[in-house]
Amino acid sequence: MRRLLWLLLPAGVLAMDLGSKAWILNLLAEGESKPVIKGFFYLTLGFNRGAIFGSLTWVPELARNLLFGLAGVAALIIIGRMFLEKGTATWDRVALGFILGGILGNSLDRYLRGAVVDFLDFVFGTWHYWAFNFADSFILVGVVLYGLRMLRAPNIESQIKEN
């Protein structure tokens, strides 16, 4: 039962991601941009039909959809299983919950729109970072948390398992 309560974490990430995308789709047209902090942070609506940073857009749409669909299902199964496993440590479960929620958000986007909605747009001096969304952010934070936990020497915290 307690493990099932953990499902609120990826569900919350998914709700935040889908809610923010619905909001931005009502606020902006594709390619439109509004400054939040001029010269640094903008809301810019874009649709990523490729993979990370827009890669693989050259792959034919049918092949790309098949590849992304299979990869998404495989990731959901593997990460979902790790997330719900009885002995998963708390910090691992938090990290995996972030990743799982982010995968669900971007996968639903691809399924419903054929592209991922991106809108968080940062500029650092003359360097312009790729636009991204909350799902991307949660996936990144989850991967970093999980990676840091994996790099740490075994200690009492990682040995305490949640029941």
Enumerate the active-site residues. Answer: 118, 136
Measured distance CA(41)–CA(76) in Å, rounded? 32
- Phi, psi (rounded to 5 degrees) for 43: -100, 115
| Strand 127-128 versus strand 33-37 pairing type | unpaired
From the CB of residue 14, how many other CB atoms can be counted at a distance below 10 Å? 21
